[in-house]
Amino acid sequence: MVSEGTNVIEWALRVCQSIAFSIHGLLGVTEPFTGCVQGAFNDTHGAMPKWFWPVAGLLLWTVAYLNFSPNDAVVLGVQAYIAAFHMGGFFYHQRLRHHPVSGFAPAVFAVLAFFVVGIRTGSYLVALLGLGACTAVAYGLTLLLVTPPASQTQQADALLEGEGTRRVD
């Protein structure tokens, strides 16, 4: 329940986050068996390492639980994870060359984290700086973890090389 002195808007934002992460955690943990996440994202070439989705699911469940910690530092750490993870989702969609707007769905959770941090700390400047740092971390991790699909030219070259010939540009 909401404890005395807790901002009810901030509490409601964390409830929304945790409900979504409980559901998304289930999708991540079961991904090796269902393939539903990769199917939904049209990820036919395995852009993410096989271990990523189940680990992400377990971490989302952990975040959903820790989001209600009585310790302010834990909640702020959870919000940093939420911002980094979901900005990573934004960059994931960009690297997979999905429609430019598709990355805004996960970015909504980073915006929620921004408001939770701003309300909790009383400083939207701190929240903005934190979101910027988390976005930078997310971008770097996306470059390391997400394998973009091969371009059509690279795919054609690979097919031709498999036949023992090479395309001449």
Record the pTM.
0.83
Residue percentage of the chain with pLDDT more than 70:
88
pLDDT digits (tens, 9 = 90+) for 2-39: 667 789 999 999 999 999 999 999 999 999 999 999 99
pLDDT class for 44, splitting at 50, 70, 90? confident
Give me the pLDDT at residue 149, please: 87
Residue type, 144: L
Average pLDDT over residues 120-133: 97
Burial class (CB in 10 A: 0-12, 13-18, 19+), 168: exposed
Q: How many CB atoms lie within 10 A of CB 27?
A: 16
Give me the pLDDT at residue 134, please: 98
Per-residue CA distances from 69 to 62, 78, 130 (Å) = 11, 10, 20
Q: Alpha-carbon distance 156 to 158, whole Å?
A: 5
Say yes or no to pLDDT of 155 above 80: no
Average pLDDT over residues 95-100: 92
Say yes or no to pLDDT of 41 above 70: yes
Q: Which of 138, 103, 112, 89 lies closest to 18 in space, CA to CA? A: 112
Across the chain, what does the average pLDDT equal? 90
Residue found by looking up tokens 């009383």 in the block: 122
Kindly report the length of the chain: 169
